[in-house]
Every structure is written in C-alpha cells, then in structure tokens.
Structure 1
Amino acid sequence: MAHLFTSSTTLEVGTPPPSTTRSSFNVLFHRFVDLSAERGQYVHSPEFEYNGRKWRLIVYPGGDSAASEGFVSVYLQLRSGESCEVDFGIFFQSGATGIKVSEKKTKYVFELPGSWGWRDFTKRSKILDNESLLDLNGTLAVVMSMTMKEERLSVQPFVPKNIFNDLMNGLLFDEDTADVCFEVGTTEVDEGNTVFHAHRLVLKKCTPMLSALFDSSNTLEGDEKMARAVITDVKPEVFRLLLANVYGRSMAEDDMKTHVKDIIDAADKYSIVNLKLGAEAAYVKSTKITVENAMDNLLYADALNLALLKEVVMDFLAENHDEAVKKVSFADVPGHLMKDLLVAFGMSKKEEEGKGNEKEEDFDVMRVSELRVKLDKMGLDVDGSREAMIEALRKSSKQS
C-alpha cells in the first residue's frame, strides 16, 4: 500500500496579532543562609539575554532599605536594550519536591535603566524554616519566567533587494558596453562563427585564462577599443553557457545534462572551477558505471583531474572486484592510479567491517568531497587530483 504524505502551510490574511516569546531561567543562590541579612545588602545573578536585551535578577536576603523587617526583596532589572513590556513571574522551588513557594507575577514596562519586583517578596524565615526548600548545601533555587510580546508594524516595510546580480546578468552579451568579443566556431576567420561580447574587467576577475586571450589579440576593424579572440575548440552553444556562468547565471538542468561532457572539457580548459566541478557532479549523478564503461570513465577522469568521478569508478571496481578482474582490461591503466585503487579497496573493507577511520586528519583515506570541503574552508584550490589535494592539505597543516 502506498503511503500518503501531506504537508501543511499556514497562510495569513491581514495583519496578524502580536506573537509572544516565553523563557524560563533558573538562578541558584548557594549557601543562602550565609548571605548578609542586613537591609540594603544584595546579591545578583550574572547577566543573561532574553529577546535581544540583557537582564539580571537581584535578591536582597535581608530586604532592601525600605522593606518590612524580616522580608526578602526580589527584583528583575533591565541592563541593556530598548524599553519593553514584560509579563514575568518569580518563585522559589524545592529541588527535592519541585513544589513552588511564594510565587508572584506581574506586568511592567521596563525602561533603561530600570528594575521592578517586590520589596516584601516573602519572609526570610519562610525560606530558612522550610526544610525542603534549601538543599544540603543551602542552595536556594529561584525560578523566573518571562513573556514578551513581539511588536509588529501595521505596515510591512519594503526594502529593495541588492541589484548587483541583476546588473551583472544584464551585462551578459551587452554589445553597447562590451570592450572584447569572442568569435566561436570552427574556423580562424569570422565566416560562420558566433560572436559573443564580453567585458575585460569581468573576465580578468572571474576567469583569468579567458581574459589572457586578449593580451595579444587583434582589434576589430573600425573599432579601436574592441579586442577579439577566436575559439575553435568549443561549440558556440557550450561557450554561451560557459560565459553565462561567468556572469553569475545559473545553468538549467536540461542544458547541463545535454552538454555535460563538453562543459567539463571547456571549464577545465579555461579553469572555471565551480562550473567544472558542478558539471562533474552532474555527470556522476547521471552516469551508471558498469564493467563495460568503467575503464573509459576512469581514463577520462584521470586525464581531466575529475577526482570525484575517479573515486566513483574506483569504488565500483572495489565493490565488483570479482567481475572486474574477469571482464576489465587494466593494460592501459597508468601506474599512478593503483594507489587510488588500493585506497578504494581499503575504504570498502572498512565499510564492510563497520569500522571508521580513527585518525581525524588522515587525509589518505578521506573521500574526495571531504578533501574539497577542507580545502575550500582554507581558501585553497579544490580542483586537482586526489594526490594534489592531500599534499596541499598536509602542507597547510604543517604551516598552521
């Protein structure tokens, strides 16, 4: 029987009523009996934060200067932040029985600096004579609950979004502002080639290898500023996607799927790392590794430093080693790939035994994605072979 999963979404019409936030704080006053019972002497809790403001609880064990004889005074004090209205309650609680003693509640609008509470909260003798209220160490537990309404504006403010991405997207293929252009096709002359206009500054910052094509390029006739570069090894439709990525546009899933290997090749050639790794991930996701295509994919991954694809193929060979030995020819496999294969066998064995790697920084047995995450956090290059990534991490670890 199929299971039915449902989700619920709340939609609001009009201005909703104010919401509230509630919090409870426990303050322990150790050896309460030893605290000064002289009027005007007080102790206070450390500052705590509630609803973006700082507070503290103040207790006068012998009462404040105006309290009745023999009473304890308790106050809540606002220490920082804007004025606010708070519903709060305070009581003493027995650690042994959980029973509340001398509970009091009130509502008050606090302004900085400001305190509010009870001068005659309870008699001191009521605390000292209650055997269950103080624990063996003489600790008094004071519990405080706070509730505050969140203020909402009757009219929701409009804040325009940052338009930088839109502006960058608008510059894509904009001939009026461009100062360079690519002629993409199959010939060195412009007959039949597709022209893509671009901006030298954007290319210099985002893809230096494409920008470098204009360092010794020709200038188009009739335009002293427009430099041109001819590209004959990338399909125009693929170059269009590549350039759109440089300008910050997301690639449609269908475009990625249709041109995935061409995108990998072009992104690798011009060192557009995020596009290359994104296309590699898409290729891995859409490709089923078999004994028939394992070697082709392995050699392709090795040639373009596609560490993730290489790892996936190695995992397949390790998991299907009996069939691979019979059907896969290793005659053309470069010797340096043997270490990757041994790592894959080792990881497969550990996973079968249910044992993880106990050395936190043992880079040799980390997955490619783990290595890339670590490199990215350190601001290091994430494009490269497994060996290159491990070496970069080791070098960085030694320096730090």
Structure 2
Amino acid sequence: LSITEAAAATGETVSGSHVLRIDGFSATKDLAVGDYIESGAFRVGGHAWSVLCYPCGDEEESAGWVCLFLQLVDDNVAAASAMDAGGVIKAECVFTLMDFAAGGVGELAPSIRIKPHVFSAADKSRGCDFIERKELEMEPSRLVNNCFRVRCDVILVNDNDDEKSPSPRPVPPHVRTVRRNRAPKILGPQIKPGPGHYFAPGLQNPRDGPASPMPPPPPLTELHRHLGDLLASQVGKDVTFEVAGELVTAHRCVLAARSPVFMAELFGTDEKEEDKEDVAARHVVQVVGDMEPEVFKALLHFVYTDSLPEICDDGDGGNKVKMVQRLVVAADRYDMKRLKVICEDILYKYINATTAATTLLLAAKHGCHRLKEACVAFLKDLLASVEPPGDQTCSLSSPARKKHRSRFLLPEQPRKKK
C-alpha cells in the first residue's frame, strides 16, 4: 500500500492526491462483476475519502473493464450531520495511471477527469470505466510484476457564493473528461486486502476463503537507471551523431527500438537490402537542421530513461519553456509520441502572457491540438480584458482595436527600406 497526500488551499479550492497500488492483478480475473476492492480512507479538505476498484466492472455493460470510483466516507461528525440535514460537498477528481516501469512517478494514459459532482448522504460516489483489462495487461509499463498504480487527485470547490467561486479549473492536454460518469451499479462483496496490499493473490478465488500468504513484492524495475548508466558510459557505443559541430555517441539498437525514425536512419528501410547495408555501415550520422546539442542530448536521455533530464530554471520558467519547446520539435521529428505528450503537459502549465503566442505557433505547427486550444482560450480571455488606450468604446472590429491586439501579441517587425 502506498499513499501520498498533499493538500493546498487556493481561494475556495482545496485539493489532495492519493496513490492506489494493486498487487496480484491477474488473480482478480475470477472475480464477479460488482466485486470491488476498497482503499483505506484518506483525507482531503477535512473530509474522508476512499477509492473503489472494480477489477471486472461494476455492471454488465462494463464487464472486462477496470472501473474506479471516488467515494465519500466522511467520519467527521459535523460534516456527516450536515449531509444528513441535506448539506452537500462538491468535488471533482482525476484518475491517472502511473508509470510503474519508471518507479511509479511518471504518468501514462489514461488520465480521466470526473466532472464536478455534488456528494451527499444519498449519493456518495462517482466514477467511470477506467481501462480495459486486456489493454492494461498488454502494456509492460502499466502492469509490472503483476502490479499497477493509479493516482486519484481530488479537488473540492466551495461555490455556494457564485461571485466568489473560482473559474472552471483548466484541464491539462492529456487529461480526458468522461461524458458519462456514474455511481457504481452493482455492490458485490468487498474483497478484503491482505496485509499491506489491496489484494493478496492466492491459488483460490478470494470469495471462497482467505488467500494464501503473499510473499513480499519484488523490487521495482531498475531498467531505466541501468540504461541511463549505459548512456553515461562509453561502453558499447557504436554510432556517433554530429550535431551543430559537436559529436554525440549512442547505441544503435537502443535508439532504433525507441524511434521508427532512428530505425530508418540507422538500419535503413525494407525497400532495398543494399541501402540497409550502406546505412548500417555508417559510423557518423549528420543531424541536419537547427537542432542544438543540448536538445539532442536531452532527447537521448529520454530515449534511454523514459524521463526528462533536469532542466536548469531561471526562476520564471523561461529557460525551461524554451528547452521544452525545442524538445517538442525533436519529439515530432523522431516520432517520440510519449515525449511529445509530456512536453505538451509541461508547456500547458507555463501558458502566460509571455509564452502563449510562441507556444500557440509551436502547437499549430507540430499538431499539438489540445495545447493549441488551451493557448487560444487563454489569449481570448487575455485580449477580452485588454482595452486600447484612449477610446474605451471602440468595437472589437475597429482598426484601433485590431492594431492594439496585433501589437500586443506579436513583436514589431523592422520596416523595410524603400
């Protein structure tokens, strides 16, 4: 069992997170639809919550899916009395699958948002179909050593006073909001977890009796660390890249396994066998274009470790934004989809008046559709709050307003000499 909680109040909003770990996932295949596992209680915003996991679905329509639900299990006497008296608690949550292969700290798809819901004594839970069992079982980074982790982020908002309630919380580009969220339909028997785990696998169906004792779980994978050490060393490197005059060495097989573009560059295509031999014989590969050595090294770091290197920040995030923007270009060039999504998420968090225009251009050029939509929405709100100096009554389509808006967004271009 692994639990993390971090709550911080901002205006009327309080949030916290809880990490759910389920061991022995394969043994849950024999459970019936409606059988569920309940986490221990965790506290966010002064209220107690738990996560319900239905390994085989909560209703017949969701059979074959892992379903997750956030449940209010408040033991606060005052809060419980308020609920019994007709009081309500409004909250939303986001369920995110964690990258177990990277130590359980990275994020993977899916990441699903449950829209704000009014929790009451009569309606204490909300959730959704999270992921298909077969999809979870097929992806090594999702299910490691028969175990997976899900983070539940809970956000409580007190919007009793409409004037003081905050604006809707922006949703990161990789997070999908489900259209149909619901309370669990079938409440089957609760499966009691073994010591320290939500589910202790045994040789028998847990509904038929206690499971056999489970041995301690194996240590987390260290593949990312071992490959990172391999990159840092000079052992076995068989290809050199020339990037803006600087030489960078790496391992052909590692790069080819991670990127189809590297595969074609280093081993050729399937069209001509002689071309493949010529490509494989090259020991120095020219990286054309305007890619900088630091960006290419950061790309290689991700290829080997599936994580970004530490990026030096200048306090306001300017250096980090520039580096991540360049990594988006590199990720698009080498078809590194996961890196591209991670970079989109980082840039989303840094959207402001300084970065919105350049990030919008980048997103439009490289097909980052959700990031583009977020930038457009931000700029619309920003421009709506900015009026040109002098006449405050000019229309949106007036020349003065158009000139002011274009000067606000784009740097002035030098005038051409006649």
TM-score interval (norm. to shorter): 0.3 to 0.5
Which gives a bigger RCO, structure 1 or 2 (Cα 8 Å, sep 6+)? 2
TM-score by length of 1: 0.37
Query: Normalization by structure 2: what TM-score?
Result: 0.36
Asked which structure has the greater CA Rg, the reply is 1
